[in-house]
């Protein structure tokens, strides 16, 4: 952001012949727009690198994990048990089952290469040591 000191310096300095001209001032709106454009460009480049490496979008990975947890819960009748006992005490889900189901969702349902899906799940769940 341009400060008052920057403005004062630009207004009081006269460049010598051949010296580069001072950078024109940006108003706050133009500066925010430039920042948004550079952030959007950075994200586009990041998504392209992930796509080229065969890695799925993080939102897709999150969705697959949530869908996998829901599937495992429904298969094991946990919601009925919670309704019956009115408690979630003792509810446990096997991480291996969730990862397996999420892999199936990503690879078979969303056509993500298996290696990319595996790495994305490991990264997203911070399982790499």
- What is the reported pTM? 0.67
Whole-number percent of the chain with pLDDT over 70: 91
Backbone φ and ψ for 32, nearest 5 degrees, come out as -65, -40
Output the pLDDT for position 39. 95
Output the pLDDT for position 1. 66
Output the pLDDT for position 22. 66
Output the pLDDT for position 113. 93
Output the pLDDT for position 60. 94
Output the pLDDT for position 14. 67
Residue 46 has which token pair? 């990041």
Output the pLDDT for position 4. 78
Distances (CA, A) of 33 to 24, 28, 40: 16, 9, 10
Encode pLDDT of 90-120 as tens digits. 888 999 999 999 999 999 999 999 999 999 9
Low-confidence ranges of the chain (pLDDT < 50): none
């Amino acid at each position: 952001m341009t400060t008052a000191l920057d403005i004062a310096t630009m207004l009081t300095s006269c460049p010598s012949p051949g010296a580069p001209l001072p950078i024109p001032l940006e108003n706050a709106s133009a500066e925010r727009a430039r920042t948004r454009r550079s952030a959007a460009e950075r994200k586009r480049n990041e998504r392209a690198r992930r796509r080229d490496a065969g890695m799925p979008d993080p939102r897709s990975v999150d969705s697959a994990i949530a869908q996998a947890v829901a599937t495992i819960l429904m298969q094991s009748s946990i919601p009925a048990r919670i309704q019956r006992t009115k408690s979630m005490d003792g509810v446990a889900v096997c991480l291996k089952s969730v990862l397996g189901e999420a892999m199936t969702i990503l690879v078979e349902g969303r056509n993500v290469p298996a290696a990319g899906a595996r790495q994305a799940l490991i990264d997203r769940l911070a399982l790499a040591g």
